[in-house]
Amino acid sequence: MRNLALAVLFVAAPPALAAGPEVVALGDSLTAGYGLSPGEGLVPQLQRWLDDHGAAATLVNAGVSGDTTAAALARVDWALTPGAKAMIVTLGGNDLLRGLPPEEARANLDAILTRAEGAKLPVLLVPMVAPGNYGPEYKAAFDAIYADLASAHGAILGEPLLQPILDQPDRQAALKDLMQPDGIHPNAKGVGLIVDVLGPEVVQLLGRVK
């Protein structure tokens, strides 16, 4: 009877979603899930979104808190495991927090995308947006990096990562309801809004996997 019950459960269970191609999410604390429980971060929420929408993929969390574009470049060869088939790049936030020169971030991101090209991996490049307190020249130079590099490398250009939160009609309420107390990292609810925008972009990325 026990074997029969197991057989019935096996037959009745819905087919599991295929593992799908391995997609490396290369980023900093916003990717790593800083301040959140293991299931609330960007990568696990995005994985659930893909599963729920029938998009077969296996996301690999290659986010490291505190990473600048230079630090991510130093470990990109390690992050791109032999099984990787695509890459999501979400970097630049710590360059902004430190006020590093935009030309350095541009060069580092250019090198990261060049490594992905060499490995024949399609890339989704997710921008960060510079605040205005560094001045208009800095902001213009930094914000231009992502579109320029996406065009140069044939990468998919995503929406700025935090834009779904910044687009909320009441900015102060959004900071309270969707961000952690540090005002830098989204909380689980804020990550959910980000994933609703990021998910379809990753589906587009999966369409480029060979």
- Positions marked active-site: 29, 182, 185
CB 41 within 8 A of CB 61: yes
Q: Contact, 195 vs 12, CB < 8 A?
A: no
How many residues does this entry show for the chain?
210
Quick check: helix, strand or coil at residue 84? strand
For residue 154, give every residue at least 6 positions away whose Cβ sits within 8 Å of its Cβ, in sequence order, or none.
Answer: none
For residues 69 and 95, the answer to whether their CB atoms sit within 8 Å is yes
Of the candidates 154, 141, 137, which has an alpha carbon nearest to the alpha carbon of residue 86? 154
Q: What is the tally of helices (H) and strands (E) in the chain?
A: 10, 5
Three-state DSSP class for residue 119: coil
